Copies of this chain bind each other. A is one copy, B any other.
Amino acid sequence: MPVQVDVGELVAQAADGVPRAIARLISLVEDAHPQLREVAAALTPHTGRARLIGLTGPPGVGKSTSTSMLITALRAAGKRVGVLAIDPSSPFSGGALLGDRVRMSEHATDTGVFIRSMATRGHLGGLAWATPQAVRVLDAAGFDIVLIETVGVGQSEVDVVRLADTTVVLLAPGMGDGIQAAKAGVLEIADVFVVNKADREGADATVRELKQMIAMGRREMRGPSWRQPIVRTVASRDEGAEDVLKVLDEHHDWLTAEGELTRRRATRAAGEIEAIALQRLRAELVDLRGGDRLAELADAVAGRELDPYAAAERLIDDLRA
């Protein structure tokens, strides 16, 4: 039985930046607490200030180290930073990611920083539904920047990154064919490229390859007027952080000037509304007659008395009845 929560008090504390209240609210989101509806309403007046930055890239490029570097630089610039680290939670990947997280422990005692891991496993539609609500909590808690970091291996992670105002794609030298193969997808989601480990052999080649990709992409796509910049970093030595912050600011200015920020946030809101509505409809479908209706139809489909489309139609009819 979920505990009844004093939502007003909890949101007030979170808006004051009390870490325990923030953590508690995100847990309510993750657990799909029955008072979530109330939480969302209470958070709304406090939201809309944070800048949302998505950070993704293939495994091994140094995402956690880069996140940590950016936190340090943003703190030095006086910004409060909330981080959502999205774990795709494949049965095959849990350990390595958790290990990486340890790197961020240097920020553990800084109250201007809040870091939270979220697992996609078990959530309907990955994090389509839970992540934006968690972002909303951090926004309401007054963080100037909310970083969403994902390992970028699956569709749901990519969707999460698409929630951001600005998406940073991290790459590293020596990925070889990787970049070429990744071309279409990467061009599609990146606002900013960061080539990390830029002190390693092959960094120049990686940057050159990226430049070609960007140039070709622009011809093919006749995209918007933003030209994706490429920044070099060595996150393990905190090198290049200022350059990243600079292009992030430039992108933010561009978003604002072009009206693109408003468009992106409306798109995000549409996705959010849709995900919540589907989540609710799904709960109703599965629960028709205490679940008996779906079980009955499933038996009929498994027994080939009914095809699944006909069964789905009957289920929807019952939902509407």
Contact = CB atoms under 8 A, between A and B. Distances in A.
Interface of A: 36-37, 40-41, 43-45, 47-48, 57-58, 88-96, 98, 120-123, 125-126, 132-133, 152-158, 177-178, 180-182, 184-186, 188-189, 262, 265-270, 272-274, 276-278, 280-282, 285-286, 294-295, 297-299, 301-302, 304, 306-312, 315-316, 319-320
Nearest to A284: B316
A269 B306 CA distance: 10
A278 B278 contact: yes
A155 B186 contact: no
B88 A155 contact: yes
Interface of A is mostly: helix
A265 B302 contact: yes
A304 B99 CA distance: 38
Given A95-B178, A126-B156, A181-B96, A301 B272 contact: yes
Contacts of A286: 274
A290 to B, nearest CB: 14
A243 B320 CA distance: 51
A92 B152 CA distance: 7
B273 A278 contact: no
Given A267-B298, A272-B308, A273-B311, A154 B88 contact: yes
